[in-house]
Amino acid sequence: MGRVVHKYGGSSVADAESIKRVAQRIVATKKAGNDVVVVISAMGKTTNALEKVAEAFYSGHKDEALELFRQIKESHLTTAKYLLVHNYLAAEAQLKDFFTEVEWLLHDKPVRDFDYYYDQIVCVGELLSTSIVSAYLAESGLDNQWIDVRDIFRTDSNFRDAAIDWDYSQKKVVDEIKPLFAETNMVVTQGFIGATSDNESTTLGREGSDYTAAVFAGMLNAESQTIWKDVEGVMNADPKLFPEATILSELNYDEVIEMAYYGAQVIHPKTIKPLANKGIPLHVKSFLDPSLEGTIIHECEITRLPPLIVFKENQCLISCQVTDYSFINEQQIGIIFQTLSEQNIKINVMQNSAISFSFCVDFRENKILKLIDHLGRNFEVYYNTGLTLITVKNYDAALYEEYRNLPGVILEQSSRSTFQVLVKSPGGVH
């Protein structure tokens, strides 16, 4: 009997009706005779709503934070009430424990970094959604074991982008998750979150539940992983921007790693590695219509792929210029890389000229202003915000001309397979 990992994204558990549909999908999975790990995201837009709570709290607006949190509590209780009868009281008690954890914190005064509080608050979204779904599955006759993934996945303390301690977590999976399958054939747990050795909650980066599922799949040597989404599969461009976008029915791991790296929203960038290392296939399927084929990502040769177009918004271009009219040299570029690595900031595209080194990063305001401040000790630093990085893989002559001639292009770069332009989005230039 195979062991599989299924991941349900926020939109597939957005409301009571969707959660009912998840149960139907799980019945089908179990008919196939599988042991299954079900990894679930926060309901709908809960993570965004929790981010607002964290921001209000950190900027000293305690009442606003409590009010925003009250709304989140209410919507979860309403969903639980709608779905549950026998298990309602037990589920309510579990939800209330998580509510209390957050509310205690909201009554404190912030004394640590924003990112620390962000993780303590935002992690609750997944804890709430899984509590409700697990109780509903049990009530529907789908016996399952709810697990707090923070007891399994240990991470470092790089809040908001924490890295999993592989050896420690692998041992936990072997010692604590595997034996559960002797008693149940379903484990329900949270994506996106973990905890440090001091039991502080962490998150793995937005949309990180895909990655959590892949880590489980890798550590359990699963037969396959399936990601249930509100789209029909992986597409060659964002259908909201390109109505003519098409579904890619088959992709190999490399192609997806590149798409994710350039900013495609389909799959979390870290998802592929644990799967590719073990040759575990990844299915991306529509939870609205499971009869659709979706996309399979596995080891395969693909000779001709259509152009893939990826937009990465909210970019910032930073230019470091030497201050004494000398050429920029390796030692100076070394300082820039060192600073970026110390502050955990990734470069999305880079370019150098005689006297300057320019690179583009995601504009996370606090982090980037701090970076600019540090770089300012050695360089004259200029920056532009409000930019979009457009990447076209497998481009052709027509696309090349189209994109390089867009208004507001401030940087372009091409290799044989990939073409990138950085363009000004309307507004936001410093």
* Residues engaged in binding ligand ASP (CB under 6 A): 9-10, 41-42, 47, 125, 191-192, 206-209
Query: Closest approach of Cβ 23 to ligand ASP, in Å?
Result: 19
Selection from Mg ion, ligand ASP, none that 191 binds (CB < 5 to 8 A by kind) is: ligand ASP
Q: Please, which residue, 15 or 139, has the CB nearer to ligand ASP?
A: 15
Distance CA 273, CA 253 (A): 8
Task: Give strand ranges (E) for 240-334.
Answer: 250-251, 282-286, 295-297, 308-321
Selection from Mg ion, ligand ASP, none that 278 binds (CB < 5 to 8 A by kind) is: none
Query: Closest approach of Cβ 214 to Mg ion, in Å?
Result: 14
Q: Which of 428, 331, 343, 414 is nearest to 384 (CA)?
A: 428
Q: Is 154 helix (H, G, I), strand (E, B) or coil?
A: strand
The H-assigned helical ranges of 39-87 are: 46-58, 62-83
Maximum distance among all alpha carbons in the chain?
Answer: 75
Query: Closest approach of Cβ 45 to ligand ASP, in Å?
Result: 8
Closest residue to Mg ion, judged by C-beta, is 10
Q: Please, which residue, 10 or 274, has the CB nearer to Mg ion?
A: 10
Amino acid making up residue 130: T
Query: Closest approach of Cβ 357 to ligand ASP, in Å?
Result: 32
Q: Please, which residue, 48 or 353, has the CB nearer to Mg ion?
A: 48
Selection from Mg ion, ligand ASP, none that 131 binds (CB < 5 to 8 A by kind) is: none
Reported as half-sphere exposure (CB side, CA atoms, 13 A), residue 167 has a value of 0
424, β-bridge pairs: 387
Q: Can you read off the two tokens belonging to residue 175?
A: 């010692």
Q: Please, which residue, 125 or 263, has the CB nearer to ligand ASP?
A: 125
By CB under 5 A, name the binding residues for Mg ion.
Answer: 9-10, 41
Q: Rounded to an integer, what is the distance from CA 5 to the centroid of its chain?
A: 17
Please, is 241 exposed, middle or buried when counting C-beta atoms within 10 Å of its C-beta (0-12, 13-18, 19+)? exposed
Phi then psi dihedrals of residue 383, to 5 deg: -150, 150
Selection from Mg ion, ligand ASP, none that 125 binds (CB < 5 to 8 A by kind) is: ligand ASP
Query: Closest approach of Cβ 240 to ligand ASP, in Å?
Result: 17
Query: Closest approach of Cβ 65 to ligand ASP, in Å?
Result: 19
Q: Please, which residue, 228 or 379, has the CB nearer to ligand ASP?
A: 228
Q: Please, which residue, 234 or 318, has the CB nearer to Mg ion?
A: 234
Q: Please, which residue, 11 or 319, has the CB nearer to Mg ion?
A: 11
Selection from ligand ASP, Mg ion, none that 218 binds (CB < 5 to 8 A by kind) is: none
Query: Closest approach of Cβ 413 to ligand ASP, in Å?
Result: 29
- Scan for tokens 């893989």, then name that residue: 393
Whether the Cβ atoms of residue 271 and residue 214 lie closer than 8 Å to each other: yes
Q: Can you read off the two tokens belonging to residue 88?
A: 């309602």
Selection from Mg ion, ligand ASP, none that 192 binds (CB < 5 to 8 A by kind) is: ligand ASP
Reported as half-sphere exposure (CB side, CA atoms, 13 A), residue 36 has a value of 24
Closest residue to ligand ASP, judged by C-beta, is 209
